[in-house]
Each structure stands twice: as structure tokens, then as C-alpha cells.
């Protein structure tokens, strides 16, 4: 790498975040291809299936394995996963099959319509009684950043962290895709028998999109906080489903868009 600073030129090696495709198959049938950072792939697959309403508990999954023979010479690229579902668990609806790659910036590419995204939620988060001290929430971005080991070396990864109401970090995952980072957190919770994630907060390092609110709902997470802005559709879905949505969480300030009662504020909140 060549680095230019004013008139100074230096040549030095640089560490880049890895981005590779991962094909997720269910019972041998291809479901989706996502561009992700390798690592925690089993969590990613499990979390993705929770987000799509296919999986609801660890017992729904009987196996996750890398597929051998993924190359012409029969080798294993570790970029193809097959998920085995338990007997009686319905396979993914054909409507959610992705006809396009899921890029690292968008987890909804290939969705036919908004209706296909609005998966029926297993758990209702609107009634979750969690209450939070705003001062506790302001510490989440700093705690998230401090735990990002790969970001320190590359500067190019998103992070998602799961916190409890007291501010304890329960799980952190990094990925080039913000939606993948969230799926990895949800998949960790699924595989360890923690769903639904009542009384928790999902903190993300970027913006709060519609898909991230949807993933929170599908995992039973009542609060989503982000360092950047939410989209209008994210705020609409959060209000509809009873999710507390916080954006622009920076320093001691934040914008509360929905569910302000959990933070003790109601004025100006939807």
C-alpha cells in the first residue's frame, strides 16, 4: 500500500477486512449467498434462518456443516454451508429464496416485495417490560468499539453487540455486513438456547435499517440502538412492532424515535 500525507509518500503493508461469499443451503437446497467476513459462520446461518422465520429454537437445527466437493477438484472452500432441519420443521418458503447475491451492504437484495420481508414474528416484543437508564445506553458505543478486535487491525468492519439492561455486553460479532453481524449475534443466541432475547438491547455500529429492526423483532429483542440514523421504514416498523428505536447515539446524546417509555421519555416520541 502507498500512503500519501501532504507531500510525504510511504510504502507499507496494510491489513484489510476479508470479504468472501457464503452460500447457505437448507437440506441441500441453496437458499442464499451472502458476502461476509469468514468466522462464526454457523452462527450466521442460524441467525439468518431465525430472521426468516424458519428456526425458533436450537432443537429446530440438527446439523450445520461445511460442504465438501465445492470446488472442481472436490476440495472444501469453507464457503458453502448446509443446514439440516429437525423433522417437522418446515423448510424455507420459496418466496424468501434469494435470486441475487446478498451484498455486504444490503441484506434484502432479491426480496420480491416488502410483504415478503414482514415475516410473522414468533415473539411479541411490545409487552417486554425492560426499562433502561439513558446513561447506561450512552456507554454502549464505547463498549462496542473497545471489544472490536478485528476493527482495530482493519478499520473496515461493522459490529453488533447484545447488552442486558445493566449494560453488560453479552455477545459481540463483527462483519463487513451490518446485517451479517446481527445474524451472527442472533445465531449465537439461538445455538445457546437463549431465544427469545427478552430484556436485551441490540447495539449496532452503523445505521438502523428496516432489516435490522426486523431481525431484532424475530429474535425477541425489544430495544435497538445505533450510532447513526434510522431509516423512515425502520422507524415505522419499530413503532408497529413495539420496539424502542434509538439513533445518533453519540457521547451523551441520542435521538429516541419509538418506545421512549422504556427510557422514561414520551414527549416528541412516536
Q: Where in the sequence numbering do the catalytic residues fall? A: 106
Which is nearest to 217 in space by CA: 128, 132, 111, 124? Answer: 124
3-state SS class at 149: helix
Q: Strands, E, within 6-120: which ranges?
A: 8-11, 20-26, 29-36, 61-66, 80-85
Q: Is the dihedral of CA 100, 101, 105, 107 positive or negative?
A: positive
Helices (H) and strands (E) in the chain, counts: 8, 12
Strand 2-5 to 200-204 pairing: unpaired
Strand 80-85 to 61-66 pairing: antiparallel
Angle between helices 178-191 and 41-51 (to 10 degrees): 90
Query: How far apart are alpha carbons 77 and 71 in whole angstroms?
Result: 7
Angle between helices 210-219 and 178-191 (to 10 degrees): 0
Which is nearest to 53 in space by CA: 200, 239, 217? Answer: 217
Report residue 264 as a C-alpha cell.
Answer: 422514561
Burial class (CB in 10 A: 0-12, 13-18, 19+), 188: buried
3-state SS class at 169: strand
Amino acid at each position: 500500500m502507498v500512503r500519501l500525507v501532504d507531500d510525504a509518500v510511504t510504502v507499507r503493508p496494510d491489513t484489510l477486512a476479508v470479504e468472501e461469499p457464503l452460500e447457505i443451503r437448507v437440506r441441500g437446497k441453496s437458499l442464499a449467498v451472502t458476502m461476509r467476513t469468514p468466522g462464526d459462520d454457523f452462527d450466521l446461518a442460524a441467525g439468518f434462518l431465525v430472521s426468516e422465520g424458519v428456526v425458533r429454537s436450537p432443537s429446530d437445527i440438527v446439523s450445520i456443516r461445511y460442504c465438501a466437493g465445492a470446488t472442481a477438484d472436490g476440495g472444501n472452500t469453507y464457503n458453502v454451508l448446509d443446514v439440516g432441519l429437525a423433522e417437522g420443521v418446515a423448510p424455507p418458503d420459496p418466496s424468501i429464496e434469494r435470486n441475487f447475491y446478498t451484498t455486504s451492504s444490503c441484506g434484502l437484495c432479491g426480496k420480491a416485495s416488502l410483504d415478503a420481508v414482514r415475516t410473522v414474528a414468533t415473539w411479541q416484543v411490545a409487552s417486554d417490560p425492560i426499562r433502561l437508564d439513558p446513561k447506561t445506553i450512552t456507554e454502549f458505543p464505547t463498549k462496542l468499539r473497545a471489544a472490536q478486535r478485528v476493527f482495530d487491525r482493519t478499520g473496515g468492519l461493522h459490529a453488533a453487540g447484545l447488552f442486558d439492561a445493566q449494560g453488560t455486553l453479552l455477545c459481540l460479532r463483527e462483519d463487513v455486513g451490518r446485517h451479517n453481524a446481527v445474524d451472527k449475534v442472533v445465531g449465537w443466541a439461538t445455538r445457546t438456547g437463549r431465544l427469545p432475547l427478552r430484556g436485551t438491547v441490540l447495539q449496532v455500529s452503523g445505521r438502523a435499517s428496516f432489516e435490522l429492526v426486523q431481525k431484532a423483532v424475530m429474535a425477541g429483542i425489544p430495544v435497538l440502538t445505533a450510532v447513526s440514523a434510522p431509516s423512515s421504514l425502520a422507524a415505522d416498523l419499530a413503532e408497529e412492532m413495539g420496539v424502542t428505536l434509538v439513533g445518533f447515539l453519540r457521547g451523551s446524546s441520542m435521538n429516541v424515535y419509538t418506545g421512549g417509555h422504556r427510557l422514561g421519555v414520551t414527549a416528541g416520541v412516536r
